[in-house]
């Protein structure tokens, strides 16, 4: 696949993912109640985010120590965990009624500030991760390093705040 065709694919994915997520949250969907086990998916999502965070840090450690194969395995694992998260997240939010945050006062402002930055950066990170992976796997090492310097901290932030958002929301999920 040429770089230009890959970039077109990245563009399509980067538009579709936020559009699908937005549609699930803002368009009126039929009242569907998924199976009972789906109500446990937020914990699964937090675990995927936490694992992604750890694998990303491990991948960073490996690249600092010039262990490129281990670095590559970690980054592909993080991408795989993120893809599983996305599919599961879409399944959950399209079948389980939305849960509202119930905190009040300063914690509510903190939560929504965290959530908004998490959402914006989660959408932003999609093309960055795809381009970073492509450049790394294609041997474009200098171009890979340039974007990876931005991608890694943003991806780490999204993964970490995903766990924090879950912890803050967990008292409000229906069990």
Burial 140-172 (b: 16+ CB within 10 A, else e): eeebbeebbeebbeebbbbbbbbbbbbebbeee
Q: What is the pTM of this model?
A: 0.90
Rounded distance, CA 15 to CA 1, Å?
Answer: 20
Please list, in sequence order, all residues whose beta carbon lies within 8 angstroms of the beta carbon of residue 106, skipping any fewer than 6 positions away: none
Domain with 57 in it: 3-172
Helix then strand then coil, % of the chain, to nearest 5: 85, 0, 15
Is residue 50's pLDDT more than 70? yes
Query: Exposed/middle/buried for 139, CB within 10 Å: 0-12, 13-18, 19+?
Result: exposed
Is residue 175's pLDDT more than 60? no
| CATH code (residue 50) | 1.20.120.80
Looking at residue 104, what is its pLDDT? Answer: 95
Contact 41, 92 (CB under 8 A): yes
* Choice between 23 and 132, residue whose per-residue pLDDT is larger: 132
Looking at residue 54, what is its pLDDT? Answer: 98
Please list, in sequence order, all residues whose beta carbon lies within 8 angstroms of the beta carbon of residue 158, skipping any fewer than 6 positions away: 49, 118, 121, 122, 125
Looking at residue 39, what is its pLDDT? Answer: 86
The total number of structural domains in the chain stands at 1
């Amino acid at each position: 696949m040429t770089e230009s065709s890959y970039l077109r694919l990245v563009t399509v994915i980067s538009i579709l993912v936020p559009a699908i997520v937005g549609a699930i949250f803002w368009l009126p969907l039929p009242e569907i109640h998924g199976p009972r086990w789906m109500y446990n998916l937020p914990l699964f999502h937090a675990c995927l985010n936490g694992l992604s965070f750890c694998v990303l840090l491990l991948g960073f450690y490996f690249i600092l120590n010039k262990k490129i194969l281990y670095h590559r395995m970690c980054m592909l694992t993080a991408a795989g965990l993120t893809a599983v998260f996305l599919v599961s997240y879409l399944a959950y939010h399209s079948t389980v009624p939305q849960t509202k945050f119930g905190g009040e006062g300063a914690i509510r402002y903190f939560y929504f500030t965290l959530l908004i930055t998490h959402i914006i950066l989660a959408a932003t990170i999609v093309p960055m991760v795809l381009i970073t992976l492509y450049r790394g796997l294609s041997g474009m090492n200098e171009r890979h390093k340039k974007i990876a310097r931005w991608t890694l901290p943003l991806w780490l932030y999204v993964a970490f705040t995903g766990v924090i958002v879950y912890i803050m929301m967990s008292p409000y999920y229906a069990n």
